[in-house]
């Protein structure tokens, strides 16, 4: 009977340890939620890259060397800048947060640094979203006028 109690105690201790190890800490949950927000913004604007390319080409036909073509040239430049911003941001993001890399609180100093970087990326991806949406809206508005 005593050995059954010891076996039961060992089993319960093992199960509790297993559950404790598999549960994400509060910090890790916050990190994952923020990462998802950043990815969601990226996923929202990524499909607009095709529209941007089309608008860049469409504006090309409106650009000339006179002052009449200047607004079209600026709109095209804004689109190209937004496109480049997206490509640079994705490359930079992937180098900071390689796919498959685990971000755990095992090394709290490293985790804190990663969280700080991710907060900066959230700000950056929101700037990217704003720039993309604005450059598309401006180009479409300009093309509808002509």
**Per-residue model confidence (pLDDT) at position 69:** 85
The first and second tokens of residue 129, run together, are 């979203």
**Per-residue model confidence (pLDDT) at position 62:** 87
Using only C-alpha atoms, the chain has a radius of gyration, in whole angstroms, of 25
The first and second tokens of residue 146, run together, are 């002509």
**Per-residue model confidence (pLDDT) at position 105:** 75
Q: For residue 48, which of 130, 120, 121, 118 has the smallest C-alpha distance? A: 130
The first and second tokens of residue 57, run together, are 């080409």
Q: For residue 59, which of 48, 47, 70 has the smallest C-alpha distance? A: 70
| Sequence ranges of the domains in the chain | 25-145
**Per-residue model confidence (pLDDT) at position 15:** 47
How many residues are present in the chain? 146
Phi, psi of 56 (to 5 degrees): -60, -45
Conformation bin of residue 69: beta by default, left when phi > 0, alpha when psi is -120 to 50: alpha
Regions of the chain with pLDDT less than 70: 1-23, 146
The first and second tokens of residue 145, run together, are 């006028």
């Amino acid at each position: 009977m005593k050995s059954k109690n010891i076996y039961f105690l060992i089993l319960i201790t093992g199960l509790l340890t297993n559950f404790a190890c598999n549960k994400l800490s509060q910090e890790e949950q916050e990190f994952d939620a923020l990462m998802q927000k950043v990815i969601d913004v990226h996923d929202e604007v990524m499909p607009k890259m095709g529209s941007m390319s089309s608008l860049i080409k469409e504006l090309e036909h409106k650009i000339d060397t006179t002052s009449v073509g200047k607004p079209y040239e600026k709109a095209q430049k804004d689109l190209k800048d937004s496109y480049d911003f997206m490509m640079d941001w994705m490359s930079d993001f992937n180098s900071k947060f390689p796919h498959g890399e685990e971000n755990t609180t095992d090394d709290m100093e490293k985790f804190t640094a990663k969280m700080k970087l991710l907060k900066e990326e959230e700000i950056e991806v929101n700037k990217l979203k704003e720039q993309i949406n604005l450059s598309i809206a401006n180009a479409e508005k300009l093309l509808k006028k002509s």
